[in-house]
Amino acid sequence: MRLFTNASLPTGSTALKRVNVLFDEQIIKISTDEIITEEEPEIIDLKGKILLPGAIDIHSHIITDDETLTQDLLAATKSAIKGGWTCLSELSYHTSSPIFDSLDLKKRISMLKDSIHCDMALWAHVDVTDYPYYAESAQELWAQGASGICIMQPTPNEAIAALSFDDIMDLFMDIYESDTCFAFQGFDPDCSPEFSFEAQLEGIKKLLRRMQENPIHIPRVSSYPMIEFINSISKRSDISFALNIADLMHLLAPDDFPALWEADLAEHYELFYELLRTNKIYILSNSSGAGSKISDIFSGSPSEIMEYSYLWLLSELWKKRKIPLATCLKMTSENPAKRLGIYPQKGRIDAGSDADFVIYNPEVNTMISSPTGRDLELVGSFESVWLRGEKQDPDSAPGGAYCARTKSPKRRHNKSSWI
C-alpha cells in the first residue's frame, strides 16, 4: 500500500486541488485531509506535482505476424508506457490470425502475457465466410469482454474476408438486441474505387442507415466536414470518432511533423480549433501500427510517437494554447475508456479505479527529437508512470495485462466524469 501526499489533482475549473491519495492496485481513498491507515503505507511526497490519469489509446494495430508478435508488442508498449499511455486497445488490421471467436480471443490473451508493458484491450473481427454463425460468434466475443467488433470496408487483410454493406446489415439485424459496439474504418467502394473523404462519408452514412441503436466508433477521421457531420448526429445516433494525434501535430507544427496521410483540417483551421477548444473532439488516438498495403485509411503512426505524444498534447494544447486541462484529459483518457467499456476502472482518478497515474512536473521541460530531426522543447515532464499501483520502468520486465470490457460503451449511459 502506498500513499501520495501533496498531489495536485486537476478539477473541472482551471484550479488544482491539493490531495492525498492512498492506493494499492486500485485507488483506496482520495482526501484533502490527512489519511490515517491501520497498515503503515509507503509515503511518497509529490511536493505539489500534478497527478494525471494514464492515457488510453482506443485503437492500435501493432500485431501483424505471430512470429514477431512478442517483439512487436514489447517494442510498442515500451514506447507507450514511457509516454504515459497505460492502456492500448489492439485492433489488429494486419494480423494473420484475427480474433473471430472465443477460442481466438483466449489464444490472443495468452499471447499477451509477459509481452506488454501497459494494459491492453482487444477488438475482434467477424468471419463472414462462417455465415450465418459469424453473428453468434460476434455476440459471444462481446459477452466475453472484447472491446467491440471491427468492420473494414474494403478489407486491408487477406485473412479477413470483406463484408458487403448487405452483409453488415444482416449482422446488425442479428445483434439488434445487443449493445455490441462496432468500429468502422474505410469507405464505400461503390462510391469510389479509392479512398476519399467523400467516399468515407458515404460509407458512414450507408452504415448508419443499416444499423439500429448499436454504438459505433470511427477510428480515424481526418476531415473537418466529417467531424462536423458526426457531431451533428451524435445526439441521434450513438456514434463517436477519434482524431489521429499525428494529424494534430502536423496541423499545429507542420515544419516539425510531416503529414503522414491526407487531411483537410488546415483548410478549416479556425473552425476546427474552435471544436478543439470547446470539447467537440471526442477522442485523440495514436493509431500506432504497421502501414497498410491498400489505402492510407488503414495506415498507422509509428509506435515511437507514443513516447512523447501525451506530453506534447499537454504542452501544445494546455500550456501554450490554453485549452482546458480537463478537455485534454477527456480526449486522451476519460472518453476512450468510456467508449471501450472500461470506465471507471480506467480513465478516472477516484476510489475503486485502477491506480494508473502519470506524475507531471510543470517545472522541468523535456527535449524531444521530431521526425524531421529537429530538437523540440516541451513544457513540463513526466516524472514517473504508474500502472495498477506499480511504478513502471520500461527496461524492466513487462507488467501489463489484458483489460476486458466490463461496462456498456453507450455514450448516453456515461454522464459522469472522472473529475
pLDDT digits (tens, 9 = 90+) for 117-138: 999 999 999 999 998 888 899 9
Q: Could you tell me which residue, 298 or 373, shows the higher pLDDT?
A: 373
Q: What percent of the chain has pLDDT over 70?
A: 95
| pLDDT band with cut points at 50, 70 and 90 for residue 418 | very low
CB 340 within 8 A of CB 147: yes
Single-letter residue type at 192: S
User: Can you give the pLDDT at residue 296?
Assistant: 60
The one-character DSSP state at 227 is H
Q: What is Dmax (Cα atoms) for the chain?
A: 67
Q: Read off the pLDDT of each residue in 272-290 and give the average, rounded to a whole number.
A: 90
Q: What's the gap between Cα 108 and its chain centre?
A: 19
pLDDT at 412 > cutoff 70: no
Between 168 and 324, where is the model more confident?
324
CATH class of 53-348: alpha beta
- Quote the percentage of the chain above a pLDDT of 90: 70
Mean pLDDT, rounded, for 147-160: 91
pLDDT at 291 over 50: no
User: Which alpha helices (DSSP H) does 147-288 contain, by range?
Assistant: 165-174, 197-210, 224-233, 245-252, 269-277
235-270, pLDDT tens digit by residue?
888 899 999 999 999 999 999 999 888 899 999 999
Q: Grid coordinates representing 203?
A: 460509407
Q: Do domains 2-51+352-391 and 53-348 have the same CATH topology?
A: no
To the question of pTM greater than 0.85 for the whole model, the response is yes
- The pLDDT assigned to 392 comes to 97
DSSP 20: E
Task: Give me the pLDDT at residue 302, please.
Answer: 87
Tell me which residue has cell 497505460.
Answer: 86
Nearest to 50 by CA among 25, 90, 14, 2: 14
pLDDT reading at 414 higher than 60:
no
For residues 325 and 283, give the distance between their C-alpha atoms in angstroms, rounded to a whole number. 14
Mean pLDDT of 85-94: 92
Q: What is the pLDDT of residue 419?
A: 34
Q: What residue spans define the domains of the chain?
A: 2-51+352-391, 53-348
Average of per-residue pLDDT values in the chain: 91
**Under CATH, domain 2-51+352-391 is a member of which superfamily?**
Urease, subunit C, domain 1 (2.30.40.10)
Contact 249, 222 (CB under 8 A): no
Task: Encode pLDDT of 158-208 as tens digits.
Answer: 899 988 888 888 888 777 677 889 999 999 888 888 899 999 999 999 888
Cis ω for the linkage preceding 154 (within 30 of 0)? yes
pLDDT for position 413: 47
pLDDT for position 166: 85
